[in-house]
Structure 1
Amino acid sequence: MKKNVCVETNSCRAWILASRPKTLVGAAVPVMVGVAFAVLHGGGMVRMEAAVCCLLFALVMQIDANFVNDYFDFIKGRDDERRLGPRRACSQGWITAQRMRQALFLTTLLACLSGLPLVYYGGWVTLAIGAICVLFCFLYTTCLSSRGLGDVLVLVFFGLIPVYATYYLSLPAGSRSFSFEVLTAAMACGLVIDTLLLVNNYRDIDNDRRVGKRTLVVYLGPRLSRRLYLLVGYLACAMGLVFVLHGHLLAFLLPLFYLPLHTRTYRSMVRIDRGKALNRVLGDTARNLFVYGLLLVAGLLLDSF
């Protein structure tokens, strides 16, 4: 396999590239939203040490998921010279398969260790949730993403679990209660982050069809997939009406400024349609979801005063 001469095999730079730093935004945003809700509902009484553990767990799990994806797509032959997305470490020879297997063990172990203290704050059920996160980290790439279930997993593992778990664990035990408002925000957050997966799979639709990877985009086709990309962003913001019913107007209004960015990115997606240029749309989508997260957090914190 032809190597990129600019990246030395198994070097520090190779590992940084393999970790895909830009994807860490999707891991951080749900935790930020969960903490903001804890501040709002807890009257400023927030267990920041629990929030930090949630953030560390989310970030390490994201890196672990990236390594899993890199390694298993490589051994399954999905990452070849016809792939349009950013280059992958194993397929480019930046990292050997043996080293990546070792890294998978280490990052999984680090994720478990970073999440273990959360048992103190949430009980043994927290351990079960963490184990499920680790399990599906591997199942996503190895089988579920090829069966059109990737988008559902994003809603669960980038929306429901990280937002609500962070919210719950960051609150003092006596302040915890079920919140439909937080549940709605978790779903909205998952929808916004799913735009990243949608555009990623839209770019790779031809290659995925060739290698037999049946993503939701493959099932829907390009036209419906583009419309779904636009729709989920608007649906996420519309769900913010629930915040108004709970007296949190700014938490609804500020995220609306995300929509012009989302719409402009959608138009770029339609205009480009095919090819490596869609990687720019992927980058813009990552920026958009970070902006959405910041706006929602800002609205929640301002509403807390």
Structure 2
Amino acid sequence: MATAAQWLEGARPRTLPMAFAPVIIGSAAAFGLGSFEPLNAVLAAIVSVVLQIGVNYANDYSDGIRGTDTDRVGPLRLTGSGAAPPRQVKLAAFTCFGIAMVAGLVLVILAQTWVLLIVGVACVAAAWGYTGGKNPYGYRGLGDVFVFVFFGLVATLGTTYTQANQLSAAAWIGAVGTGLIAMALLMANNVRDIPTDSVVGKKTLAVRLGDTASRVTYVMMLAVAILLPLFLVHDYPWVLLVLVLIPACIMPSRRMLTGTHRTTLIPVLKQTGLINLGFSILFAGGIVITTNLA
């Protein structure tokens, strides 16, 4: 029977910055539009965080029963390690999906944004289909697209829309930026797992690109994300704050380009998650400061 600490590790708390980042950015974009709604922001955060945890448990379950995690390098997986029965991990995943759907429904009712009900159902279906079902798209190299679309575009733009009922250039650029950093985190994870994923037929984008190209792609994703806010400087000059993150990107980028042992890539996951959180805070700060000074 898995301990509480093992369940917490199975939830992969290092990935939670990927859930908070779009909500912070989306709320700041709404503030820039003069429509910040704290309660809606909290509900959006609950949806994003619980859905992220649910995805983590769903991946743990699906990869575990397929044998993908049998010879895994990295943090504990509940199913693959045998720490918890597959049925319990699956139940944990769907419990999280249920909580996310309830919080999302309340958010939609408060914001009167009924079209997002369809988006919410699509989010849960995509979360399960990532590695679950008979033909998981995560095994065909489309997991990165899922992360960019749902934990970048949908989470950020949905947060803004449920507060302001409109979108802005800041919301779009912030969404693309955080989506790219989230993709970079997944890329780092998948580069580490190339040897084991290749054996079991899990053709992630990293497997398809190959080791060297995947490492370079990681660096490019970070670079583009950090530089994108420059397009907003005319309207929000304080978004230049995001450039403070450049030194923080050097260490994980160097590890990705030069790390020969798979275990040396493990810290990159946490570092990339923190970069995403830092990006969201600095980007949001730039929007809020500029708006208040206007």
Q: Indicate whether the TM-score tops 0.5.
A: yes
Q: How does 1:140-179 map to 2 (within 5 A)?
A: 140-142=130-132, 143-171=136-164, 176-179=165-168
Tell me if structure 2 keeps the 8 A contact 1:18–1:70.
Answer: yes
Deviations 1:220-258 (A, max 9, x none): 11111111111111111222122123x10111x111111
Residue 64 (structure 1) shift: 0.6
Contact kept? 2:9, 2:75, Cα under 8 Å: no
Mapping of 1:285-300 within 5 angstroms? 285-300=272-287
Counterpart in the other structure of 2:118: 128
Give the secondary structure class of the aligned counterpart of 1:240: helix
CA distance in 2, matches of 1:178, 1:12: 41
Matches within 5 A, 1:196-215: 196-215=185-204
Aligned residue pairs total: 288
Q: How many percent of aligned residue pairs carry the same amino acid? A: 34
CA distance in 2, matches of 1:214, 1:123: 37
Partner of 1:273: 260
Aligned position for 1:4 = none
Distance change >3 Å, CA 227–CA 167, structure 1 → 2: same
Runs of 4+ in 1 over 3 A off after TM superposition: none
User: Counterpart of 1:51?
Assistant: 41
| C-alpha distance in 1 between matches for 2:259 and 2:214 | 14
1:303 aligns with 2:290: yes
Change (3 A) 1:162 1:122: farther
CA deviation vs aligned residue, 1:166-225 (integer Å, no higher than 9, x gap) = 011122xxxx43423321221111011111001001111111111111111111111111
Q: Residues 69-113 of structure 1: CA distance to partner in whole angstroms, max 9, x if unpaired?
A: 010101101011x21121201122221122223223322211111
Q: Residues of 1 paired with 2:91 and 2:174: CA distance? A: 37
Give unpaired runs (5+ residues) of structure 2.
none
**3-state SS of 1:38 partner:** helix
- Kindly state the Cα deviation for residue 31 of structure 1 after the two structures are TM-superposed: 0.5
Partner Cα separation in structure 2 for residue 219 and residue 303 of structure 1: 43
Letter in 2 for 1:201: N
1:71 aligns with 2:64: no
**Normalised by the size of structure 1, how large is the TM-score?**
0.90
Aligned pairs for 1:1-305 within 5 A:
9-42=1-34, 45-80=35-70, 82-120=71-109, 121-142=111-132, 143-171=136-164, 176-245=165-234, 247-251=235-239, 253-305=240-292
CA–CA distance in 2 between the matches of 1:83 and 1:260? 31
Query: C-alpha root-mean-square deviation of aligned residues, in Å?
Result: 1.4
Gapped runs of 5+ residues in structure 1? 1-8
